[in-house]
Amino acid sequence: MLGMAGAALVLAACGGPTPATAPPTIVSRTVIIPISPDRVTQPVFTEMPSAEAMSEAYPGFAVEFDITARVGLRCLSKVEGHLEECIVTSASPDGLGFAEAALSLTPLIRVSPRRIDGEAMDSRVVFSINFAPAPDDPIPPWTEAEPSPDQVARLRPVAREMIATDTRLFRETDGVDPDRVAVVLQIQQDARDRYLEDMIDAMALSLARVLTPEQIDAFVEGRPPPGREPDAKRTAASADRAWQVDARYRKFVRERYCEVYDC
């Protein structure tokens, strides 16, 4: 499964001065004072969460299966530049933890205060946070000689065991509302049943591409493989088939989930 980085953040202060023919009314202390728009400086977002912070906040199920979201918030922008009293006004889609994720990011946001005649004051701001997973990195194709069918076949039981013992596979529910967890697990089970053999074949092929005959013997016999580990570049290229299967698996889960719940 792929990590994710670089999710986009969109922030926009809501509203601006009304036309000069209908100036807004500003309440200052107990006196109501009409303010000309050209004397008002609206809040401006000056600091936003980093890509790393966005990645950490992104709900696990949604990022795993490439589900995007938009969350609207309304906060009190303090003179000191931070936000308080934030509430979620909308979250689309709901039920996947995006509202909580957006609220967790608000302490990282800084806003220049609203000013009237140069005097800073607290104000309400309305904005949105967009969550979008970063695209997968391109996988270099395998250009070396292919292993023999016998080598791949010998490694299929090893690949099956590796997948079976990875408890992270087919059970991602982070951020999912409790009343949807059972459905989400069943969807992943359906995808597993559909793509498991393809995953095993792809993993066995990847192992056979980078392991020496002596290392294959060791893997099959349950011994530590001798010699050097394959270098990272060859290993990444050897998994091109596995990444293709993984992409189909994730697409199946995402589309099936969005058939049941609104995405």
Domain containing residue 122: CATH number: 3.30.2420.10
**200-249: per-residue pLDDT in tens?**
999 999 999 999 999 999 989 989 989 888 888 899 999 999 999 999 99
The reply to whether 95 falls in a domain is yes
> C-alpha angle 240/1/258, rounded to 5°?
110
The reply to whether 4 falls in a domain is no
d(CA 185, CA 189): 6
Domain count, the chain: 2
- Residue 70 phi, psi (nearest 5): -135, 130
The reply to whether 217 falls in a domain is yes
> In terms of domains, do 124 and 188 share one?
no
163, HSE (Cβ side, Cα atoms, 13 Å): 22
> In terms of domains, do 217 and 166 share one?
yes
> In terms of domains, do 105 and 193 share one?
no
DSSP designation for 133:
P
> In terms of domains, do 93 and 159 share one?
no
* Cβ count within 10 A of residue 192: 17
The reply to whether 8 falls in a domain is no
> In terms of domains, do 89 and 60 share one?
yes
pLDDT at position 30, please?
A: 34
The pair of structure tokens assigned to 9 is 């953040």
pLDDT band for position 83 (50/70/90)?
Answer: very high
The reply to whether 233 falls in a domain is yes
User: What is the span of the domain harbouring residue 44?
Assistant: 25-131
The reply to whether 20 falls in a domain is no
12, HSE (Cβ side, Cα atoms, 13 Å): 9
pLDDT at position 184 over 60: yes
> In terms of domains, do 187 and 242 share one?
yes
Residue in 6, 11, 10 with CA at minimum distance from that of residue 51: 6
Indicate whether this model's pTM tops 0.85: no
> In terms of domains, do 156 and 126 share one?
no
The reply to whether 15 falls in a domain is no
